[in-house]
A = this chain, B = another copy of it.
Amino acid sequence: MATDARFERINSVLDCRQMDLTVLMEHVNKPHNLSAIVRTADAVGVHDLHAIWEDSELERSNFYSSGSNNWTRVHRQPDVDTAVNQLKQSGMQILATHLSDTAIDFRDVDYTKPTAIVLGTERFGISERALELADQHIVVPMMGMVQSLNVSVASAIILYEAQRQRALAGMYEASQGVEPEEKQRLLFEGCHE
């Protein structure tokens, strides 16, 4: 792509970023899941993601050197209390993806509100503590024999429901977009690679 066209493209993508929509991953550590989640986030305009990892998980996941992370920011968080506090302080509703007695259908949520979606680790799901801290538990309905979806699949289904609602509400035309410094950084890197 010619540099001018590429500049325009990056510019317009960053202008419609949804800075008040995010994902918090609790020990999600398989490289293919992380990469799929970040790709989907980029596609729906999520710019900031959060992740809690053990050092060993982060190493195995090879995440920061894989190149998956070029167009979004994944912020490492020390623990779920810190992460959820920070997200709540910025005004977000916290949605834990988990089949519990009180879980509601993911389509019954208003995603035009500032929202953080908490995703659980591949084998064991979401922590008790995250379930406690969440404002709401949500679930993608399943009509089959298998007990759960792949984590990147579940998050994509939910993020595209958010995209649908936000597109209807005109939020991609009138969004705040990324802050100026981040835009400069990505325009510079994106046009000199």
Contacts and interface: CB of A to CB of B under 8 A. Distances in A.
Interface of A: 9-10, 13, 16, 30, 32-33, 35-36, 39-45, 70-71, 107, 140-146, 148-150, 152-153, 156-157, 160, 163-164, 167, 172, 190
24 contacts: A9-B145, A13-B145, A16-B143, A32-B33, A36-B149, A36-B150, A39-B146, A39-B149, A40-B149, A40-B153, A42-B144, A42-B146, A43-B143, A43-B146, A44-B144, A70-B145, A71-B145, A71-B146, A140-B160, A143-B163, A153-B153, A153-B156, A157-B157, A157-B160
Most buried by B among A40, A42, A163, A164: A40
Given A30-B32, A32-B32, A164-B107, A45 B143 contact: yes
A62 B152 CA distance: 21
Contacts of A43: 140, 142-144, 146, 149
A149 B118 CA distance: 21
Nearest to A154: B156
A20 to B, nearest CB: 15
